[in-house]
Amino acid sequence: MNTTHAKYINRELSWLEFNQRVLDEASDVSNPLLERLKFLAITASNLDEFFMVRVGGLQLRVARGERGSEPAGLSASEQLDAIASRARLMVSNQYEAFLTDLEPALAENGFRRVTSVQLTEQQLAAVGRLFDTEIDPVHTPMAVSDDEFPLLGNHTLNLLVRLEAVTVDDEPRFAIIPLRSPRRFLTLTGESNYTFILLEDVVTLFVERYFPGEVIREVAPFCITRNADMSVREDLVDLAVGMEEVLDARKQSACVRLQVGDQISDAALDFLRSRLAVREDAIYRLPGPLNLSAFIQLTDMHGFESLQNDPWKPQQSQQVDMTLSMFDVLSEKDVLLLHPYESFDPVVKLIEEAAQDPDVLAIKQILYRTSRTSPVVAALKHAAQEGKNVTVIVELKARFDEERNIQWAHSLEQAGVQVIYGVKGLKTHAKVCIVVRREPGGIQKYLHFGTGNYNESTARLYSDVSYLTCDESLGRDATAFINAISGYSQPQKFRKLEMAPIGLRNRLLEMIEAETQHAKQDLPAQISIKLNSLVDPLIIDSLYKASQAGVRIRINVRGICCLKPGVPDLSENITAVSIVDRFLEHARILHFHHGGDDRVFISSADWMPRNLDRRVELLVPIEDAASKRRLMDVLDVYFQDTAKGRRLRPDGGYDEPTGTGMGAQEFLHRQTCELVQQSTQSRRLAFQPHRASGQDD
């Protein structure tokens, strides 16, 4: 390798390749039709957030005149150029998939979108009534003058109306109609099972009613994406107030992308470009409906089950008898849960039981993201109202969940919960809950560690791991960890846990180095890891060094991977694969061979500088023999997936899957169901006699 830059893949381009893998699922005819539409909508939503955060941040760096480069050697300006080229190709592929493949196939299966020119006389009359009763009263056009432009919401759909000039020499006049109706897909009667028309088409059809006596020359849909890469001031006394200021600032931040219909005139586009001060390379002319992410609303409609995946219902773990108290279960054994194949219910049950149990003295927990109607939050509030000592660390800086977390924090405070807004200068991303219970033998701590959030909704959609235990050493470590966050105490040396930003990276580097030394001594050496992202240059260099020493390294990475695998004399012993399937891969699982004394961990942290340097994260050892073996087996399953697994090439692209058999996710689902079935059959075969009243068992 001639330069250090040649060792790394640019993180932004790597992320775009991840989104391309999701888009590939939209074109995979082996997926049900509405699932393909869902994948398409997800790619559009992903791209929206990418522009808001990553592109927005790069544009700020260019505006500030920053000249530094990232590890792959690209400046901020060069990254924007590369992103623009790759993103345009992706958007072109999105609309090709939607217009030439998905929409015609959906129409053939009774799922049809019509435009205003395709309306029958009966449908036109129905749409007119709908406009009069539901649409017209809600929407208000806003005239746009030379010196005033309305404040338009981030990623909201709008119509630009060009009116005829008053005189020949005058400039054209413009007005904007923000489309604020919650219903974008308007149902019509038709020959298909589901016929609909888009809100913007209906408003365009009747737009003259907003401008009586005017001549309308053009109506053009457009959508702006604003920069959301903003940070709260960490020196504020009230962090919640600061976060509210950030949320307000996002509403009026700079436009980082302008999406318009491809029929827009040059005059209308020039008007928007000048008023929004948007870069030329940030304008996207789209040949179909804007905001494809909204189409996810249509993908779970009743009556179209044949176009959807067969549901995979989470199974109750056979390690947990839900008729028993979770305290009794965990007193007997540790419990490892694989979500969403196994239900999140035991985790919720532990917290709900803790809230009601009179012997529970305290609950300490970190909340990063939760659901809108969170039973976990309800249980914590109930526990405080019952007089228990409840401490909750609510991370207000969880991007795009800030507003919800502020609301949860206030409601918890009102219930008597001690609420802490994270740590200054860091995001608290670890997932841990501690239940302190008074028992005959003394104080016992029951613990939950997770790779995902305390969100029972996403626990049905994300692939994550939960570990429940009452291990004494982990209990002491977890308490010290929470105390370090909640107070001014200095983090102590942990017995088993490791935390970022203090020692986690060094611990990882030490374990990689140990494998390297084993390989140099001609001993078996292997590393298997499952992550969402691999970006950190120090760790990547350490993995390169291990590979050169002969360590066999297997990486399963869902999204960004800046490491180049399979490069001779650099990473020839490293393979990296990615799996995109019906569930979002979110678990972080690590296995180091360690001379045959296998070391297995779960973690909240990806291997990125932000996680290791600017977030509070946890690395949790799994020492229970059964749980350890299970996680090692799970890793093997992911590396054997030839149906959905794609291998990363050194150039940053991915090879197509090599087989058509069962994917890792389907295997894990079937395996879980089979274990449940076997357990049920075993219970049926067990004889349990009826005993006379008064006889002891």
Catalytic positions: 429
- Of 400, 402, 152, 142, nearest in space to 252 by CA: 152
CA dihedral over 395, 398, 402, 407, signed as positive or negative: negative
Q: How many CA atoms lie within 13 A of 224 on its CB side?
A: 28
Confirm if 220 and 160 have CB atoms less than 8 A apart: yes
- Of 608, 433, 480, nearest in space to 536 by CA: 608
Residue linked to tokens 């003394």: 442
Distance CA 472, CA 494 (A): 12
Tokens matching residue 12: 């932004």
Tokens matching residue 386: 């019952």
Distance CA 184, CA 202 (A): 10
Confirm if 452 and 459 have CB atoms less than 8 A apart: yes
Measure CA of the first residue to CA of the last residue in the chain; give whole Å.
73
Query: Nearest 5°: CA angle at 445, between 440 and 448?
Result: 145
- Of 88, 89, 67, 90, nearest in space to 78 by CA: 67
Tokens matching residue 186: 């308007």
Phi, psi of 300 (to 5 degrees): -120, 30
3-state helix, strand, coil in the chain (%, to 5): 40, 20, 35
- Of 425, 536, 423, nearest in space to 481 by CA: 423
- Which H or E element spans position 348? helix 345-356
Max Cα distance, the chain (Å): 104
How deeply is 449 buried, as exposed, middle or buried, from its count of CB atoms within 10 A (0-12, 13-18, 19+)? buried
User: What contacts 24+ positions apart, CB below 8 Å, involve 74-80?
Assistant: 74/10, 79/10, 79/12, 80/55, 80/281
- Of 526, 477, 514, nearest in space to 499 by CA: 477
Confirm if 194 and 34 have CB atoms less than 8 A apart: no
Distance CA 24, CA 581 (A): 11
- Of 584, 543, 596, 536, nearest in space to 565 by CA: 543
Helices (H) and strands (E) in the chain — how many of each? 19, 26
Strands (E), 572-629: 574-579, 584-585, 589-592, 599-603, 615-621
